[in-house]
Amino acid sequence: MLRWIIFITIFLVADFYAFQAFKTVTKNNILQILYWVITLFVLGNFVFHFYGFNRSDGFSHAHGYAVGFLIATMVPFIFLVGMMFMEDVFRVPHAIYRYFTVGDAAKGDFFTSRRQFISKLALGIAAIPLASIIYGIYKGRYNYKVLKYTMYFEDLPEAFHGYKLTQISDIHSGSFDDMEKVKYAVDLINEQASDVILFTGDIVNNKAEELVPYKPVFGKLKAKDGLYSVLGNHDYGDYVKWDSDAAKKQNLEELKAIQKDIGFNMLLNETKFLEKNGERIALVGVENWGSGGFKQAGDLKKASEHVKADDFKILMSHDPTHWEKKVIQDDYHYHLTLSGHTHGMQFGIEIPGWFRWSPAKWRYKYWAGIYEEMGQYINVNRGFGYLAFPGRVGIWPEITVIELKKGAAPA
């Protein structure tokens, strides 16, 4: 209860402070009342959905929108409060000076009026993240991007020169609310005409039933050499309250069965060899392994027990911290690891080839795109779906296409 009182108090104080900019720009009482109606609705809606909320009870679309509306309100607040504070850095010392120099002549009005220019500038700057978040909720979460890479390996089997794979990750089917957009994305995946499609975990938020409505949609995925998948941390059902351990286990078995019906070959700490013209590459799939409190069911040694040291290896592992903590230092050389999990925090700024930033970098060393360590590579997919916040801002849903080439990369 105390934390809710503190949260609401801080929110309203910050909002009242930010309101000063709005009040400076317009004296229209209707607009000022509308400001507070919207603010109190957003706050009330959030409190209504999250007071007494237990994550194990499940996270609905209504919860997601409550989070989205709150973020859409709070981020502009931060910019407004920042700008107003910068102005008060000068106003407060000036007011103190007037208090001691003018005294009673000021009749208690020691503060100079807020500058309308500063208020307009603050509102203008705050409008940028507001518009971005609204766009992210309305359109960004389905703004699928196909990212294409060509990767060169000296020891790639000759038969696999030009081999194409498509990676998707973090579908989170329980979050979707637009079937047609998902159908469009599946068509986009098929258009890439890759040799194989690889899914790196988190096909649901919590329960197998979330995937059922989308089973016919994902069932249209096609690739010459098949579809393969691994489990992510959300697939185990660890974040909901089950009536029994048996119910939780049954949920996981149902999830595996649905994936099989879709056409996915699940790799549960095991290897599948892709063969072509008498040569092969090892497709190694581990269960989820993550640092920082996440499930560590992945067993790299078990998964690779039939793999030779000189095999070309592609590893599917949901959480990139597995690559960081275990894979890079392993006795075997895993040429390419495919991961997801981070979502790129669903928020950030990316200018391809120039600049990339997201709060995800504060949590994950490898959070989006391709990285290289000790001659081994990882691609961290930004995710196909979304979770909690019902949108994406700057970090768009991703379909990765990687073409393998034999030889050295061009200079």
The neighbour count for residue 210, using CB atoms within 10 Å, is 21
Phi/psi of residue 390, nearest 5 degrees: -85, 55
Tokens for 68, please give them.
């989205």
- Distance of alpha carbon 239 from the chain centroid: 17
What CA–CA distance (Å, rounded) separates 150 from 146?
Answer: 13
Distances (CA, A) of 86 to 45, 99, 114, 130: 31, 21, 12, 20
- Distance of alpha carbon 28 from the chain centroid: 40
Phi/psi of residue 90, nearest 5 degrees: -95, -35
Residues in contact with 138: Cβ distance below 8 Å, sequence separation at least 6, in sequence order:
391
What is the H or E stretch that residue 253 is in? helix 245-262
pLDDT of residue 114: 56
Q: CB–CB of 175/392 below 8 Å?
A: no
What three-state secondary structure class fits 260? helix
What three-state secondary structure class fits 218? helix
Compute the chain's Rg from CA coordinates: 26
Q: CB–CB of 285/267 below 8 Å?
A: yes
Residue 175: DSSP 8-state? G
Residues in contact with 176: Cβ distance below 8 Å, sequence separation at least 6, in sequence order:
182, 214, 385
What is the H or E stretch that residue 275 is in? strand 270-276
Task: Please name which of 55, 50, 45, 121 lies closest in space to residue 82, comparing C-alpha atoms.
Answer: 121
Q: CB–CB of 247/290 below 8 Å?
A: no
First CA to last CA distance, the chain: 61
pLDDT digit string (tens) for the chain, length 411 residues: 788 999 999 889 888 888 888 888 888 889 999 999 999 999 999 999 888 777 666 778 888 889 999 999 888 888 888 777 776 666 667 666 656 666 554 454 544 555 677 777 878 888 899 999 999 999 999 999 999 999 999 999 999 999 999 999 999 999 999 999 999 999 999 999 999 999 999 999 999 999 999 999 999 999 999 999 999 999 999 999 899 999 999 999 999 999 999 999 999 999 999 999 999 999 999 999 999 999 999 999 999 999 999 999 999 999 999 999 999 999 999 999 999 999 999 999 998 888 999 999 999 999 999 999 999 999 999 999 999 999 999 999 999 999 999 999 887
Burial class (CB in 10 A: 0-12, 13-18, 19+), 198: buried
Q: CB–CB of 157/281 below 8 Å?
A: yes
Domains of the chain: 2-138 (no CATH), 144-406 (3.60.21.10)
The neighbour count for residue 190, using CB atoms within 10 Å, is 15
The one-letter amino acid at 208? A
